[in-house]
Amino acid sequence: MRPFCRFARTAGHLQNTFPRYKARSFTATTQVNKYQPPKFQKQKDPIMATTTLKGQPFDRPVLDSMLRRRMFYTPSFEVYGGVAGLYDYGPPGCALQTNVVDLFRKHFVLEEDMLEVDCTALTPAEVLKTSGHVDKFADWMCKDPKNGDIMRADHFVEEILESRLKGDKEARGVKVEEKEDDPKKKKKKVKATEAVKLDDAVVQEYEEILARIDNYNGEELGQLIKKYEMKNPATGVEPLPPVEFNLMFNTPIGPSGNLAGYLRPETAQGQFLNFAKLLDFNQQQMPFASACIGKSYRNEISPRSGLLRVREFLMAEIEHYVDPHGGKKHHRFEEVKDVELVLLNRHTQLAGQTHVKKVAIGKAVADGTVDNETLGYFLARIHLFLEKIGIDQTKLRFRQHMANEMAHYAADCWDAELQTSYGWIECVGCADRSAYDLTVHAKKTGAPLVVRERLAEPITVEEWQIDLDKKKFGPHFKKDGKTVEAAVEALPQEKREALAQDLKLEGKITIDVEGVGNGKVEISKDLIVIERRKRVENTREFTPNVIEPSFGIGRIIYCLMEHTYWTRGSDGGDEARGVLSFPPIVAPSKVLLVPLSTHESFKPLLRHMSLKLRSLGVSSRVDDSSASIGKRYSRNDELGTPLGITIDFQSVQDKTYTLRDRDSTKQVRADEETILTAIKSLVEGEKVWADIEKELPTFEGQEVEVPVR
């Protein structure tokens, strides 16, 4: 998968937390949300059927129908036929997203003392040219020469090989669960998988290719298509060789259209370009982190899998700036070193395997599996965040990027992947991006994107220094003067030494300057002097390295819905009803208010409790319809509402109320203040339902006579 991690920038690394699609004061005693979802079955092998939270066979079409019926999300512009890869969130979807983002802010921005910024989505092309996106932010696509269909090359290879492996299993008598397609796309389904037995060696080859699928470039994918004679099932012909397709949406800025721009494919560039201002805001203190939560845009080749691969999506990215000297230590690493993560390292993948190991992050950093403490610290914090919002920990792993996925400047990169009915989905990317981003922008613009640190003791430095005759230099190069000057100032020491010799022997030097003439610029000795000199330094100047956790919020939300979904039978013998066991801290609505009937005496209490919950900052819904109380609770279980208050005739008499737990359906009864205190503690994650059951009496039935109407 590609990250929603800053989703990598090389073709092999790109795929959208949707597809392939980024940090300061937390103590060991920090309150952790105590919510724990009901236990479910041990993790299954990825090739086996997906199960619900309670271990039942997972039926994706049923869940998808429920989510759309309850308007968690819906296709955009549906009355016009819709547009692939675009979705709208309904009321519960918006509330769930808001709560997850709010918890992200508390867990990272607040806890780590980050500097949050909100940068524009519309980005000048020059910025993304410098960052490498214009040239490299691409996926490989191939075209069917018969019907013109465009397909993601890696997806095409995956689907063909998975189909053949499925046919092999069927031929060997192994029952394989059918994956349901999008109902709107059933018309494109040409034929069922053929049951053909493969040689054991071929099966092993296919499995090894699938394990390394993210490591193939376009040429290699084309070779696989030819070698294994892969043909489009819809036409029976082999697609054309893969070509690169840039994923960014381009748009002119301004009425003249002369300023080219793009919709940002990530939120990171605005953070990098504000680095100097943020450093100044932070009183020049290092290390520090910035964060940005906002929409990003990718023109996906083949949007699919609902919310998992879309063209417009919400990201939350962090840029943690760290001094590269001293091994990138983190002052709070000791607090998380014992957190155990499930790791799939690059060496295992390159061997064509997917075996994972559960390792304490302290050990993984110590033995070099994870490159440094700061990267390890964020992997642990990502794990804790996903656990807190209710992600099934048996369906979470951290996969290390292989060489071809990772940009050449990156030191290490890991994806937090979540297992779903679609397979393993990358939802968070965490990369050590070295000093690349700040360096390229500084080189292009001449802006001082560096840290200056006061030294305790002055040091003497001997280096090659350059002096330019500004009076002659500007007039000589005219409009290109600043560009050439920036290129000269950026010359490294080893290059300056060689150029000093050229200047002495030939009376001129030639340097590379992108965008000027043919890319080569000649400078004569009357314009430049290069000499080795000594100088005293009272400050140290360095370009920080960046550790970048990148979260695909939409992907995380979809995986959360799958991980918390289960069904239970209804009392009336109807079909099983869906339940979403969201932790109270992220549930769209926290409390359902249910009057026992439409009796007039309940209405004042209903309004009163609604106002009391609102004053506590607890969201609630009222269901005073004529449906049975059981049906009313069931349909709100579909919305993931964790708690319910029933108002009955005893409530009218003594102001006591029952409080219902969504998952167990058990109830307790107490006075108003006690019930509200219990709700507050559950919603804030201070207690779990088991704690409430121990503290409050179980509800058995009304103690007053029901009046006759």
pLDDT of residue 49: 65
DSSP calls for 444-509? HH-----EEEEEEEEEEEEEEEEEE-HHHHHHHHGGGHHHHHHHHHT--HHHHHHHHHHHHHHSEE
* Contact present, 632 and 645 (Cβ < 8 Å): no
Residue 454 sits at φ, ψ, to 5 deg, of -70, 130
CATH class of the region 589-695: alpha beta
Report the amino acid identity of residue 694. K
- Tell me the C-alpha to C-alpha distance, in Å, between residue 514 and each of 408, 422, 437, 486, 518: 20, 44, 18, 11, 8
Tell whether omega for the bond before 61 is within 30 degrees of 0, i.e. cis.
Answer: no
Instruction: Determine whether domain 459-537 maps to CATH 3.30.720.200.
Output: yes
Which tokens sit at 100?
Answer: 């997850």
Which tokens sit at 631?
Answer: 């049906």
How far is residue 157's CA from residue 474's CA, in Å, rounded to a whole number? 55
pLDDT of residue 135: 83
* Contact present, 448 and 471 (Cβ < 8 Å): no
Element containing residue 547 per DSSP (H, E): strand 545-552
Residues 6 or more apart whose Cβ sits within 8 Å of residue 242: 140, 141, 142, 153, 218, 219, 221, 222, 225
Residue numbers in the chain where pLDDT is lower than 70: 1-49, 176-193, 408, 570-575, 701-709
Residue 610 sits at φ, ψ, to 5 deg, of -60, -45
How far is residue 248's CA from residue 428's CA, in Å, rounded to a whole number? 20
How far is residue 168's CA from residue 214's CA, in Å, rounded to a whole number? 24
How far is residue 346's CA from residue 12's CA, in Å, rounded to a whole number? 15
How far is residue 401's CA from residue 349's CA, in Å, rounded to a whole number? 9
Label each residue of 357-380 as H, E or C. Answer: EEEEHHHHHHCCCCCCHHHHHHHH
pLDDT of residue 192: 56
CATH class of the region 142-246: alpha beta
How far is residue 617's CA from residue 631's CA, in Å, rounded to a whole number? 27
pLDDT of residue 137: 84
Kindly list the domain boundaries of the chain, sorted by start residue.
Answer: 7-137+260-439, 142-246, 459-537, 589-695
Which tokens sit at 268?
Answer: 């990171």
How far is residue 290's CA from residue 318's CA, in Å, rounded to a whole number? 6
How far is residue 5's CA from residue 378's CA, in Å, rounded to a whole number? 13
Classify 268 as helix, strand or coil: helix
Classify 660 as helix, strand or coil: strand
Residues 6 or more apart whose Cβ sits within 8 Å of residue 559: 391, 395, 418, 420, 425, 427
pLDDT of residue 410: 84
β-strand 451-468 against 423-432: which pairing, if any? Answer: unpaired
Closest listed residue to residue 407, CA positions, set 4, 20, 7, 1: 7
Label each residue of 291-351 as H, E or C. Answer: EEEEEEECCCCCCECHHHECCEEEEEEEEEEECCCCCCCCCCHHHHCCCEEEEECHHHHHC
Which tokens sit at 584?
Answer: 């109270």
CATH class of the region 7-137+260-439: alpha beta
